[in-house]
Amino acid sequence: MEKYISVKELEDAALEKLPKNARDYYKSGATDEHTLAENRRSFQRLRILPRCLVGVEKFNLGTKVLGYEVSMPVGISPSAMQRMAHPDGELANVKAAQAERVIYTLSTIATSSIEEVAEAAPDAIKWFQLYIYNDREVTRELVTRAEKAGFKAIVLTVDTPLFGLRRADVRNKFTLPSHLKLANFEGHLSTKIHATGNGSGLNEYVNNLFDKSLTWKDIKWLKSITKLPIVAKGILRGDDAVKAVEAGCSGILVSNHGARQLDGVPTTIEALPEIVEAVKNYNVEVYLDGGVMTGTDVYKALALGAKMVFVGRPALWGLAVGGQAGVQKMLSIFRTELEYTLQIAGTPIVADITKDMVRHEFTYSKL
């Protein structure tokens, strides 16, 4: 692992190693993938304005999220079917999160079960990402199991009445490899990701099983079956953020689903300021994922109001390259880059990072 010194290097190595079906699934975006590219470019358009001579000998990356102490404001986003990347899949990922003392989020459509993940890393701060199925009893059971297993929050994905058009998956007629299953389910729900037509088996699975009728009123039902805080994942509008909070959500995860849902939407760092402003008078935390590849990306998101930044693909790249050690290497890269950024920027603790620490590049193009 020592030879990798950037997340981009881990990505390049992972893409060389992964089989085509998994590689294309993990890296693809919706249709023409403009938003996928812009997720990265938007961070590059922001400039950091360092403060000088402020004294940084007592720097500290630690912060608190939903009441829990974490070692740095970087966590792991949910991503599906991680055993396609490495035989240990989600278990290696959550063990890395436990070792590095960051949050791990488990996908509903994981290849390791809620209980397996809980047993593998009992001391990790674990969140459970939830899709609501047409069969509400299926959903209720997932939530109950997550709560019983010690997960600390439910991350409700709100941007997925159906999965977006990912052309690579359509071309590949994406299916879950035959030796794997969706481990949170039994029977046909665990093995149903098999293409039967001319498209992606995953899209067929979602179209048949996910509840398209969901509205903000359904948050009330979800709150009635769990005491865990609910984080709404997939919000890109300020008014939707307000609706989520008023419905009872404790957190907002600004996300465009890794640019995998609808091409042409705002990037997450573009959407973040509007959402932070919209909920500033509410008791709610705002997080971000999408396009984050460096410690400076994390810093920029924190400056624009994110409490925590989550990474999805970088964890998959580390997982593919080296299992648990690879994910820990990815997290250590972010940690090192963030440590350097905080000190050189003159903001030695996370609370020092304020909106005036960044400006958009257009500010300077006018000079």
pLDDT tens for each residue of 30-39: 999 999 999 9
The two three-digit tokens of residue 114, written as one number: 């809620």
Average pLDDT over the chain, rounded to an integer: 94
Active-site entry in 86, 179, 257, 360? 257
34 classed as catalytic: no
Give me the pLDDT at residue 54, please: 95
Q: What is the pLDDT of residue 211?
A: 87
pLDDT at res. 209? 78
Helix or strand run (H / E) with residue 99: helix 89-100
Query: Nearest CA to 216 among 246, 188, 196?
Result: 246
Per CATH, which fold does 7-46+64-341 belong to? TIM Barrel (3.20.20)
pLDDT of residue 191: 63
Contact 160, 234 (CB under 8 A): yes
Cβ count within 10 A of residue 235: 26
pLDDT of residue 186: 83
Q: How are beta strands 68-70 and 74-76 bridged, if at all?
A: unpaired
Decide the pairing of beta strands 358-360 and 230-235. Answer: unpaired
Give burial (CB, 10 Å; 0-12/13-18/19+) of 9: middle
Other beta carbons within 10 Å of 188:
9
Give the relative orientation of helices 34-44 and 268-278 as an angle to the nearest 10 degrees. Answer: 70
Q: Which residues of the chain have pLDDT under 50?
A: none
Which DSSP state fits 83?
G
- pTM, full prediction: 0.95
Question: What one-character-per-residue DSSP string does 28-57 give?
Answer: --STT-HHHHHHHHHHHTEEE----SS--T
